[in-house]
């Protein structure tokens, strides 16, 4: 693993710790309910049961409005139906920190989420090394795209089973791509089955990735290895059998508690969350508004979706999306003979799509326009974004003028992100002058680098990309998140 990846992870831990300190207890989505699950498991050594009264919409709105100051959260238990693994990992930390003041105990529990988030960042680098071996610079960029996404950094500093779901989802995506490249040996099937079992015990948002893994396994065995159907079905049976041994007990337990027709406790959940806004409610936001909220919450809406970023930041991140899209066009001829990359990218995109479809399906019933539910596939997004943005910034093929223009466009988008982030911290920043200076510097840089075809030009641009992303996350922590909760 390149040394720079370790620096990215260290920076992520520092920033996530900053979010953990800056945001007071219970001011992350669903945090009180997740805490009460941990407390129930640790204090009574038993799994909680979701019952009527666990959700009080009016109480939650009052507590969110007061930032949970001097409030009792004991009755907030609506996450009691969640799979237990994250809470089982947190329970020992709860016991250890029981004697500490509440604010410090919360930080201890948030610390585990930060550790899980750091592992996601490492897996983002690992998947790029799988897709593009020998390109350590792209591995660093992929890790940075994930690590310095403000919403990911923030949610990774919360008591929330999203932290484990993101890690398990990342591992599933990585194993799928690795299996496509190298094949699924018997040992790999065992690991994959165990991980699927872990996924069953983590969160339903991860379940959407399971069909993609099945498809990857079948594709590799039938299309590439030309294995007969009996052997392919045997491999699937091995994975399914191990997964059920690891995680099947959870569904049997739920069937006994909530009924055999409700092994996910979804029907019980729908009965309990009376007052949660539903999609068929006349007061529900229109579809376009909800899609906009998904876009904005992907980049960052802190707290209980109540602390948005400045509008200029969302526009700046939109420019970055445009640069990634332009990089896709540059990547297609660049990697036309790279079998690994051209095989991996469709599977990575499919991972993103299926998680998105699952979120859309959930939103057919409830208004949940939160992009954090997409984060189990975040390393797939990070890998594709790094691959495409990297192809734009390294300016690999084509006429020199066109390559310089593409690289300059990428740098411009990153510069816009950096300037808008700077304006959040330094409110008196002369932005018009800053943009003029940015364009001038890019023109001078590209004239000096691209015109001479210097070998360090691409790495220098990628380093600027990493620094811009890191700076934006730092600025939004100290310029938006921290002031909102003082």
What is the chain's mean pLDDT, rounded? 90
Q: Where are the domains of the chain?
A: 3-484
Which of 154-163, 261-270, 351-360, 403-412 shows the lowest per-residue confidence on average (mean pLDDT)? 403-412
In total, the chain counts a number of residues equal to: 486
In eight-state DSSP terms, residue 366 is B
Structure tokens at 410: 């990428």
What is the spatial distance between Cα 259 and Cα 50, in angstroms, rounded to a whole number? 13
What does the pLDDT look like over 338-393, one tens digit per residue?
Answer: 677 778 888 999 999 999 999 998 888 888 889 999 999 999 999 999 999 988 88
**Residue range 30-41: mean pLDDT, rounded:** 96
> Cβ of 162: how many Cβ atoms within 10 Å?
29
What does the pLDDT look like over 180-239, one tens digit per residue?
Answer: 888 888 888 999 999 999 999 999 999 999 999 999 999 999 888 888 999 999 999 999
**Residue range 418-426: mean pLDDT, rounded:** 93
What is the spatial distance between Cα 149 and Cα 16, in angstroms, rounded to a whole number? 11
Full-model pTM: 0.94
pLDDT of residue 334: 59
What does the pLDDT look like over 427-437, one tens digit per residue?
Answer: 888 888 998 99
What is the spatial distance between Cα 443 and Cα 423, in angstroms, rounded to a whole number? 23
Confidence of residue 398 (pLDDT cuts 50, 70, 90): low
> Cβ of 398: how many Cβ atoms within 10 Å?
14
What does the pLDDT look like over 75-87, one tens digit per residue?
Answer: 999 999 999 999 9
* Residue 362: Cβ-neighbour burial (10 angstroms; 0-12, 13-18, 19+): middle
Of 165, 170, 141, residue with least CA distance to 155: 165
Are the C-beta atoms of residues 444 and 410 closer than 8 Å to each other? no
pLDDT of residue 165: 97
pLDDT of residue 275: 75
Torsion angle of the four alpha carbons 167, 170, 174, 175, in this order, in degrees rounded to the nearest 10: 60
pLDDT of residue 66: 87
Of 227, 225, 198, 151, residue with least CA distance to 381: 151
Percent share of the chain, pLDDT over 70: 95
In eight-state DSSP terms, residue 156 is T
What is the spatial distance between Cα 486 and Cα 484, in angstroms, rounded to a whole number? 6
Give the largest Cα separation in the chain, rounded: 71
């Amino acid at each position: 693993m390149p040394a720079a990846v370790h620096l990215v992870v260290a920076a992520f831990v520092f920033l996530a710790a900053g979010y953990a300190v800056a945001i007071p207890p219970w001011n992350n989505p669903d945090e009180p309910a997740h805490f009460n699950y941990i407390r129930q498991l640790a204090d009574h050594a038993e799994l909680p049961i979701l019952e009527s009264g666990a959700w009080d919409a009016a109480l939650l709105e009052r507590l969110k409005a007061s930032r949970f100051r001097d409030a009792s959260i004991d009755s907030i238990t609506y996450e009691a139906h969640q799979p237990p693994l994250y809470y089982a990992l947190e329970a020992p930390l709860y016991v250890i920190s029981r004697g500490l003041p509440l604010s410090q105990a919360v930080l201890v529990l948030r610390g585990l989420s930060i550790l899980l988030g750091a592992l996601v960042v490492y897996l983002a680098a690992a998947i790029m090394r799988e897709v593009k071996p020998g390109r350590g610079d792209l591995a660093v960029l992929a890790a940075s795209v994930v690590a310095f996404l403000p919403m990911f950094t923030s949610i990774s500093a919360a008591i929330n089973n999203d932290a484990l779901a993101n890690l398990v989802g990342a591992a599933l995506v990585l194993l799928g791509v690795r299996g496509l490249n190298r094949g699924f040996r018997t040992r790999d099937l065992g690991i994959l089955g165990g991980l699927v079992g872990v996924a069953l015990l983590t969160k339903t948002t991860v379940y959407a990735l399971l069909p993609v893994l099945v498809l990857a396994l079948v594709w590799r065995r039938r299309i590439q290895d030309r294995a007969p159907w009996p052997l392919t079905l045997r491999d699937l049976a091995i994975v399914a059998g191990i997964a059920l041994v690891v995680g099947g007990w959870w569904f049997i337990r739920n069937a006994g508690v909530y009924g055999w027709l409700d092994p996910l406790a979804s029907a019980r959940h729908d009965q309990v969350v009376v007052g949660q806004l539903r999609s068929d409610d006349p007061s529900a936001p229109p579809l376009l508004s909800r899609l906009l909220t998904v876009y904005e919450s992907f980049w960052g809406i802190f707290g209980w979706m109540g602390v948005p970023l400045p509008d200029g930041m969302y526009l700046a991140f939109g420019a970055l999306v445009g640069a990634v899209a332009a990089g896709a066009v540059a990547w297609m001829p660049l990697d036309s003979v790279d079998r690994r990359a051209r095989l991996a990218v469709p599977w990575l995109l499919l991972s993103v799509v299926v998680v998105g479809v699952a979120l859309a399906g959930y939103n057919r019933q409830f208004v949940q326009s939160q992009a954090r539910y997409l984060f189990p596939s975040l390393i797939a997004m990070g890998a594709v974004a790094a691959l495409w943005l990297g192809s734009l910034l390294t300016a690999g093929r084509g006429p020199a003028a066109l390559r310089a223009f593409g690289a300059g466009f990428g740098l411009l988008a990153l510069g816009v992100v950096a300037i808008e982030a700077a304006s959040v911290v330094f409110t008196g920043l002369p932005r018009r002058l800053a943009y003029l200076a940015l364009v001038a510097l890019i023109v001078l840089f590209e004239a000096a680098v691209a015109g001479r075809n210097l070998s360090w030009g691409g790495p220098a641009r990628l380093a600027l990309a990493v620094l811009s992303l890191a700076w934006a996350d730092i600025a939004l922590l100290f310029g938006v998140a921290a002031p909102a909760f003082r």
